[in-house]
Amino acid sequence: MKKTISSISIIIPVYNEEGNLSLLYESLVSTFATMDYNYEMIFVDDGSNDTSFSLLEQLAQQNTNVKVIRFTRNYGQTAALAAGIDHAQGDAVVFMDADLQNDPTDIPMMLAKLNEGYDVVSGWRKDRQDTWLTRILPSKIANWVISKVTKVHLHDYGCTLKVYRRQVLNGYHLYGEMHRFLPAFAAQVGAKIVEVPVKHHPRRYGQSKYGLGRTGKVILDLFTVKFLNHYAQHPIYLFGSVGIVLVLLSFLLLSYLLVGKFFYGLSMIRSPLLLMSSMFVILGVQSIFLGLISELLVRTYHESQDKPTYHVSQILNINTIK
Ligand code: UDP
Ligand code: MG
């Protein structure tokens, strides 16, 4: 039986959201007033240059459940969420945007799912209120590709409103735009995931910080995620296989050319295949060596940070000798 949730950390990245903060705070306070949870709101000010931080300071003075982390400069939403995770003390972590596009009234339903035994509850902006061409369409394509590649089928990776059991988040270092891949990482170590439709509102105050450019970054991140999920412990399986295939192809081409030369009197150097064969053997051998170097890097990666090569969900009787 999984532990029921009793304390919640809500993590909110804030970048120039002065128009939204008090409304969001009020709305969170009234949502949690209806529930029997201990909670903290962790606002991470990601280098805002409007009055966001002084507003947060005031909230923190009024209410000690409001915790504020202020970055020295703008590091991005992923870094802000990572800082929130590092300081979160609840059994469950709720991520949400500061701009009121996510709705705090969805949180009770999501926490109930966690108490049903799920480890990750992922919000899906079924009726998304953003521009279609630059936001909704690219996001649909990205979600489709991510689902195919990670084999974790969610409609909306990009929705920030998601709830995690705390321990599912342990041990990740988030880079780039990677927070959206957390459900895929969690699935990789056996977490139970459920997707729920959530409300979505148009932005009322301030501007969106993103445009079309983010989709490109997300797709590039996907390569890294796929690589880390499948080959991070054994990169030589990837590089080595490519290398072996290339070297074999090169030998096949060369044999074909040699047979042509000695049995049919065909010129080897007039055929483009000779060049291809030499390219393939060089690339193939390089790829195998690249694989070996990556194997060295992997050992440094896991051993220098004491990163486990496995994740345990339960332990019974291990520390008891009678
Ligand atoms: N955000 C942030 N750092 C940034 C950009 C955005 O902390 O560099 C925050 C922003 O304040 C908001 C959330 O991330 O709370 C989502 O940003 P936004 O609403 O601009 O994205 P969209 O909803 O348009 O995808
Ligand atoms: Mg937004």
Which residue matches tokens 């056996």?
190
Q: What is the pLDDT of residues 18-69, one digit of tens each?
A: 999 999 999 999 999 999 999 999 999 999 999 999 999 999 999 999 999 9
pLDDT given at position 46: 94
How far, in Å, is the centroid of ligand 1 from the Cα of 151? 27
Lowest mean pLDDT segment, chosen from 44-48, 110-114, 126-130, 231-235 = 231-235
How far, in Å, is the centroid of ligand 1 from the Cα of 46? 10
pLDDT given at position 300: 85
How sure is the predictor about 230, in pLDDT bands with cuts at 50, 70 and 90? confident
Ligand 1 pocket, residue 102 CB under 6 Å: no
Helix then strand count (H, E) for the chain reads: 9, 7
Ligand 2 ion: nearby residues, β-carbon < 5 Å: 97, 99, 101
Q: Is the pLDDT of residue 316 over 80?
A: no
Please give the share of the chain, as a percent, with pLDDT higher than 90: 67
How far, in Å, is the centroid of ligand 1 from the Cα of 17? 9
Q: What is the pLDDT of residues 129-156, one digit of tens each?
A: 988 888 899 899 999 999 998 899 999 9
Nearest Cα residue to 94 out of 73, 113, 117: 113
E strands along 46-200, which residues? 66-70, 92-95, 120-125, 162-165, 193-198
How far, in Å, is the centroid of ligand 2 from the Cα of 90? 25
pLDDT given at position 309: 64
Please give the share of the chain, as a percent, with pLDDT higher than 70: 95
Q: Is the pLDDT of residue 305 over 80?
A: no
Q: What is the pLDDT of residues 61-107, one digit of tens each?
A: 999 999 999 999 998 999 899 999 989 999 999 999 999 999 999 99
* Cα(237)–Cα(291) distance, integer angstroms: 8
Ligand 1 pocket, residue 99 CB under 6 Å: yes
How sure is the predictor about 4, in pLDDT bands with cuts at 50, 70 and 90? confident
SS3 content of the chain, % helix, strand, coil (to 5): 50, 15, 35
Q: Return the residue whose CA atom lies nearest to atom 23 of ligand 1.
A: 208
Nearest Cα residue to 227 out of 215, 243, 238, 242: 238
Structure token pair of residue 95: 């991520």
pLDDT given at position 51: 96
**Mean per-residue pLDDT of the chain:** 90
Q: Is the pLDDT of residue 211 over 90?
A: no
How far, in Å, is the centroid of ligand 2 from the Cα of 210? 9
Q: At what angle do helices 213-231 and 137-150 cross, to 10 degrees?
A: 10
pLDDT given at position 311: 61
Segments making up each domain of the chain, as ranges:
7-210+308-316, 235-305
CATH superfamily of 7-210+308-316: Spore Coat Polysaccharide Biosynthesis Protein SpsA; Chain A (3.90.550.10)
Ligand 1 pocket, residue 156 CB under 6 Å: no
Q: Is the pLDDT of residue 163 over 60?
A: yes
Which is more confidently placed, 135 or 122?
Answer: 122
